[in-house]
Structure 1
Amino acid sequence: MDALRGFSLLGILIVNIAFLASGYRMAGMAEPAFQSSLDWNVRWVVTMLVENKFYLLFSFLFGYSFTLQVDSAARQGRPFVPMFLRRLAGLLLLGLAHAVLLFPGDILTTYAAVGLALLVLRKIKPRSAVVLAVLLTAALALGFVLLALLATLGLDTAGTVADTAAEAAKSDTALMASVGQIVTEHLRKLSLIILFRVFFQGPAVLAACLIGLAVGKLGALRDISAHTRTLGTLQWIGFTLGLGGACVYTLSAWHGTMHKFWGESVDLVTAPLLAAAYAATFLRRLPSMPRVARVLAAPGRMALSNYLAQSLICSLIFTGYGLGLVDRVSPLLEVLMALGIFAVQVVYSHWWLKSHRYGPVEWLLRFLTYWRRPTPARLTRAPHSPAALPE
């Protein structure tokens, strides 16, 4: 699971770096300075294969981990509800700071809200959790169909972030300015996308979390070899329907061959299938690639620290916090930079975990969760000894 979480973290960075690098991307537009065939090919590939897939994988793992936390609290005789509420409060505080200071596209605040729903639904049966996830996804897809129909009738239902070149340029100017102006711009974007978070992203994240909760309750990932046929089926369905839906979504997002809301409705249904195909392929192949597993497990163990660090590094590169390269980096270079940043995080994570049980932000979240200093914070035994593994 740590390796799969690390894999998801890489996909999230490849998507997020484009939004951190340009106000135009946050407004749903292509950067006007980069219009070559290579630029468009990179946008196509990232949109089709990465966008809206890896945050679903991360959400699945959030739901799966929830079941592990419930079981752990039961084994240790700890009251789970107050402990988990403190954890959600910690996530909310971290998410708000992240959104205001670094990246309005933060997802930690969404996890904090969705976590409350998981707490209410923690006794739900696996089959009921899957049914509820399907119903949520279908309702979201129908919502975008409604928006598409309204747009077809001539009613402007454009995105919540200002969807004009002038507004995007204004955003870029603010991001290149002082710290106060950057924070003000982040707050402005947050005020515009809050309805999207409440009515669309939140339910989509909850649906993925419910699938993870169902899988965790069934214990399906304890022995991957016992479920190879199921994983193979997920691969076949996910890659067939998922890639087809991704093509539709990419066409609607970039080339206007159909209204973008129609593409969104298709993507809501098919992106989870493609994400499931990625996860199934990863889980089936990982036992034969132990080195890859070890490489990805370390950044996955401290995913929260790395997620926040990614936004910090990108902000120092692209905004007035640092180099101020907003809209000066091509789509291809963004992807290469993402790979480079992640490679550094892999090395750093392995180095850090040689002497620490938790990542630095994970340590803080554990303190807020248990309301006491996590001990031991530093390893006193070899990193691979049982006593040194995370609780």
Structure 2
Amino acid sequence: MTAAPSRRIAEVDAVRGLALCGILAVNIVGMSGMPPGSGVAPALYETALHQRFFPIFSFLFGVGSALFLRSAARHTDHPGALLLARLGFLIFIGLAHRTLQPREVLLSYAVVGIVVLPPFSLLPRWAALGAGAVLTGAGLAAFHGGSALIPGLFLLGLAAARYGLVDDLERRPRRTAAAFGASALLALAADGAQLLTGARPGDSWLPATAGLLTGAAYVTGLLLLLRTRAAPPLLAVLVPLGRAALTNYLTATVLIVIALRVVPLDDAPHHDRVLMLSVAILAVQTASSRWWLARFRYGPAEWAWRCLTWWKPLPNAIGSAGRTSG
């Protein structure tokens, strides 16, 4: 069945683009094997980047799955089956990606998503919210964060979308401001405690908790900035990155592999080179995403994934007929 595509939510794409920016720098460090070093730069990396954007991306995956189900339900009687197909094909994308990036997350997202998202999408939204909170807490307390946070964050994102929080972003400025104030204060306290104790990711619940709080402050802070004069330039950069998130996540790995052959980082802590390389890759991806999305509805990888999900070739060029949602 075909229909017009659903309206995209610019704020969600912008937040997804922000998450990609932070994850890029972390992936460069991880793939290069760069030693941590000591001083201000490593401290900033640990408290501002490491484990700070992964929770955002995981939460948004749950949000995106809820939006996919909502869209697919308008065109099929079996949206859950389509979600399973979508996640099933993501397994193969993740496996292919792991040949270049062994620590990549798409494979984990696909497997965990298959386990938790379809069943909880059939339950009341409060069940997803409660289970998400419990699993996130357990991931922090028992496993000290990392991949153990994925199930809970998926369900929290699923619940947030089903409660309408995503649709009402523009009508919640005071709540957003309050959430930013609270999360920013708590994040500063948690990040300070992490620095004072010297806790490393995986050592305890503290770094992962600080990561969740800092990620929440980033998201709510960005949402507030999108209501100011800073919105146009931010949207111009972040929305194209977010709309083609899968394409940019995959191509970033290729660009990192190529760049590390020219600019090795494993001999010393070159945080300045990581920053320059991140900016260069993001500049290329922003320009290419803007060019592509001016001509096509979805990024190349997004379009291919969509065709696989619906198990048929779908038009992608802007102005072509027979659009398919979901």
**1:1-391 alignment, distance < 5 Å:** 1-22=12-33, 25=34, 30=36, 35=37, 40-99=39-98, 101-116=99-114, 117-144=116-143, 201-250=146-195, 257=198, 261-262=202-203, 264-288=204-228, 289-318=231-260, 322-323=261-262, 325-328=264-267, 330-375=270-315, 377-380=316-319
Local SS of the residue matching 1:112: helix
- The SS at the match of 1:287 is coil
**Which residue type is aligned with residue 285 of structure 2?**
Q
Contact 1:59 1:208 in 2 (8 A): yes
1:247 Cα shift? Answer: 3.1
1:127-167 per-position Cα deviation (integer Å, ceiling 9, x unaligned)? 3333322222322233257xxxxxxxxxxxxxxxxxxxxxx
The list of structure 1 runs, each at least 4 consecutive aligned residues, that deviate by more than 6 angstroms after superposition, is 387-390
Q: Deviation per CA, 1:40-94, whole angstroms, max 9, x where unpaired? A: 3222112101211211111111111111111111111342122222211221111
CA distance in 2, matches of 1:389, 1:291: 30
Quick one: distance in 1 between partners of 2:154 and 2:56?
A: 9
Q: TM-score, normalised by structure 2?
A: 0.87
1:225 deviation in Å?
Answer: 3.6
Q: Deviations over 1:226-251 (max 9, x none)?
A: 32232122212211122222233345
Give the 3 Å change call, closer, same or farther, for CA 337–140 of structure 1 in structure 2: same
> Could you state the TM-score of these two structures normalised by the residue count of structure 1?
0.73
Paired AA for residue 143 in structure 1: A
Counterpart amino acid of residue 276 in structure 1: A
Retained in 2: the 8 A contact 1:12–1:55? yes
Please say if residues 56 and 216 of structure 2, whose CA atoms lie closer than 8 Å, have aligned partners that are also in contact.
Answer: yes
How far apart are 1:390 and its partner, in Å?
7.1
Cα distance between partner residues in 1 of 2:224 and 2:201:
35
Residue 16 to residue 390, structure 1, CA distance change in 2 (3 Å) = farther
Asked whether the 8 Å contact 1:8–1:54 carries over to 2, the reply is yes
Deviation readout 1:165-206 (Å, 9 max, x if unpaired): xxxxxxxxxxxxxxxxxxxxxxxxxxxxxxxxxxx5443012
Displacement, 1:350? 0.4
What is the aligned length?
Answer: 311
Distance 1:84 1:272 in 2: 27
Letter in 1 for 2:306: R
% identical equivalent positions: 29
In structure 2, the partner of 1:149 is none
Structure ID, larger Rg:
1
CA distance, structure 1, for counterparts of residue 95 and residue 119 of structure 2: 23
Question: Unpaired segments of 5 or more residues in structure 1?
Answer: 146-199, 382-386
Query: Could you say what secondary structure the match of 1:358 adopts?
Result: coil
Q: Find the aligned partners of 2:318 and 2:199 in 1 and give their Cα distance.
A: 56
- 1:337 partner letter: L
Pair 286,388 (structure 1): closer, same or farther in 2 beyond 3 Å: farther
- Residues 72 and 258 of structure 1, relative CA distance in 2, 3 Å threshold: closer
Counterpart amino acid of 1:280?
A: T
Give the distance between the partners of 2:170 and 2:317, measured in 1 at CA.
Answer: 35
Q: CA contact under 8 A between 1:379 and 1:388: conserved in structure 2?
A: no
Aligned-partner Cα distance in 2 for 1:293–1:324: 31
Once the 2 structures are TM-superposed, how far is the Cα of residue 258 of structure 1 from its aligned partner?
A: 5.4
CA distance in 2, matches of 1:237, 1:226: 19
